Amino acid sequence: MSWGFYGRSRELADLDAMLRRGRWFFARITGRRRIGKTTLVQRALATAGQRRIFYVQIPDSAPAGVLSAAHDAMETFELPEDRFPRPDSLLALARTVERLVESGYVVALDEFQYFSRKHLFEFTSHLQARVDALSARADKVPGGLIVLGSIHAELVALLDDRDAPLYNRTTDQLELKHLDTSSILKILDTHADRDPARWLFLWNLFEGVPKFYRDAFEQDVLSANRATLLTQMFFRSSSPLRTEAENWFLSELRGRYDVVLKYVARHPGCSHNDIQAYVREVSPSTAEQAGGYLKILIDRYQMLERRLPVLAKSDARRGRYYLRDNFLRSWLAALHNPVSAINFRPEALLVQQADERLADLEGHALERLVAQLYEERSRLGLGDFGLTQRIDGYWDRRDTEIDLVAINEQERVIRFGSCKRNPERLVREAVTLRGHVDRFLHAHRGYRDWRIEQFGIAPSIDAERRTQIQQAGLTPQDLTDLAQGL
């Protein structure tokens, strides 16, 4: 069976409505690399009737490199040179965009954030003049402009900063996030199966990035065992993801923040002091910059997130750090070193090493996946728990650690969950969870008269283990239960 188009129904409907207006538009689409921005635009254009497209990916280079990329794209899309002269300056490029839009083309400029570079920034002023002219006669302009960007903060600064030339010019905005669970399950149902172990393994690696699932499909390993998939996707010279993180994510950082990223990937939930102590140990000359690095990785690149203590006020100073992206975390914490050693060690040994490290990461990934499933099920009205709040953060007390706390304020129900890859641990740790819950309720007395529910959650729980978990005082729940109705 061939690969299809999965999810994105709401985003596709928004783009389709924009394209069918029959008048000028200027749209912004943001999202991490490989999330499917270009594919979404292509899909929307295919379903919106006869719309001509001109697409160019802007390189992170000097003006000459940008103009060269534009020339190549004009050849690829067979634009006649007598109607569309090849631009010889950034001003001419802006005029070319205007001319194409006036002719009914949908112009897509990918990686638009690179125009924030000092040597390219003049283009935004030139484009502003063209956009204003097009907006003034919007009803008579049949085409439109779409700018796509993978570095959210830089793209937003170009379009939303009051001092930026293009401020307040966009007519439409769209941010692409990871595919939802329903879409991932549809991929698995179509090309593999819903085996919970496979689902968690793939989600820990690829989360909701459609390009990665498609790469695995094209390598014919989406339904393969763990070792085969890792070998084909990462360890061979032709592996599609062997250089993915370095070329598409870490290259933006130019080596400045690697030390911080690797430490956080391998120590999720570390504190600012932990990071600073580590940087001081391995790179004393940059230790004082650790705080600035963290801010940039959070605000500009959105690679890290800072979580506050559970139920802490938003201005609390204490915080702990986590990587936001599963793929980047898996690469830095489990795959980078084994893949780098492929020319010096036996392949099978390195694959096994990477697989063992990934298995360790799956405990944290399971907690995140379960939390996402609770949110999606509640949003769709599925199951027995209407979520009004999920307590997200870390535990400020060393003697209290609860994997999931879900709140239904309307029915005054609070659900505590222990998430373990191995369901046998749920039986052994039932008493431990009750102790954590007691300490939580002692510290947050407002919940003591609510209905208290305690769940034991694992990827897969067989009938015998369910009975044992129930006898231990927990309600068993696995990924198959949570996938019902999705």
Per-residue exposure over 242-269, b if at least 16 CB sit within 10 Å of its own CB, e if not: bebbeeebbebbeeebebbbbbbbbbbe
Kindly report, residue by residue over 22-45, the tens digit of the pLDDT: 899 999 999 988 899 999 998 998
Q: What is the DSSP letter of 407?
A: E
Residue with tokens 């390189």: 59
8 Å CB contact between 297 and 260: yes
Amino acid of residue 135: S
Q: Which two tokens stand for residue 272?
A: 């600012």
53-64 pLDDT per residue, tens: 999 999 999 999
Please report which confidence band the pLDDT of residue 401 belongs to, taking 50, 70 and 90 as the band edges.
confident
Q: Are residues 265 and 195 in the same domain?
A: no
Give domain status of residue 376, yes or no. no
Number of Cβ within 10 Å of residue 19's Cβ equals: 20
Q: How confident is the model over 414-454, as pLDDT tens digits?
A: 999 999 999 999 999 899 999 999 988 988 899 999 999 99
- Start-end of H helices in 110-225: 122-136, 152-160, 181-191, 196-206, 210-218
User: Cα 295 to the chain's mean position, in Å?
Assistant: 19
Q: Choose the final residue of a domain: 152, 175, 198.
A: 175
One domain for residues 18 and 55: yes
Average pLDDT over residues 298-316: 78
369: in domain: no
Q: What percentage of the chain reaches a pLDDT higher than 70? A: 94
Q: How far apart are CA 101 and CA 54, in angstroms?
A: 10
| Mean pLDDT within 88-102 | 98
- The pLDDT value recorded for residue 167 is 95
SS3 415: strand
471-480 pLDDT per residue, tens: 999 999 999 9
Q: Please give the distance of CA 63 from its chain centroid, rounded to a whole number.
A: 30
Rounded Cα distance between 51 and 454, Å, is: 55
Domain that holds residue 404: 383-483
Tokens of 127: 């484009």
* Residue 296, pLDDT above cutoff 70: yes
| Closest C-alpha among 403, 485, 483, 474 to residue 436 | 403
pLDDT reported for residue 464: 96
SS3 content of the chain, % helix, strand, coil (to 5): 50, 15, 35
Pick from 127, 75, 65, 123: nearest CA to 101: 127
Residue 286 above 80 pLDDT? no
Name residue 400's beta-bridge partners: none
How far, in whole angstroms, is CA 127 from its chain's centroid?
30
341 with 236, same domain: the answer is yes
Mean pLDDT of 194-198: 96
> Residue 447 and residue 146: Cα distance in Å, rounded?
49
Q: How confident is the model at residue 108 (pLDDT cuts 50, 70, 90)?
A: very high
**Shared-domain flag, residues 132 and 25:** yes
Locate 434 and state its tokens.
């009750």
Give the per-residue pLDDT at 314: 66
Report how far residue 204's alpha carbon sits from residue 325's, in angstroms, rounded to the nearest whole number.
Answer: 9
- Integer-rounded Cα Rg, in Å, for the chain is 25
When pLDDT is cut at 50, 70 and 90, the band that residue 254 belongs to is low
Per-residue pLDDT tens digits for 241-252? 999 988 776 776
- The CATH number of the domain holding residue 462 is 3.40.91.50
Domain contains 374? no
Structure tokens at 302: 């959105």
15 and 164 fall within a common domain: yes
Structurally, how many domains does the chain consist of? 4
111 phi-psi bin (left φ>0, alpha ψ -120 to 50, beta other): left
Q: Is residue 417, in this structure, part of any structural domain at all?
A: yes
In a domain, 137, yes or no: yes
Structural domain contains residue 3: no
384 forms beta bridges with none
Domain end point (choices 175, 192, 218) = 175
260 falls within a domain: yes
Coil/strand/helix, residue 406: strand
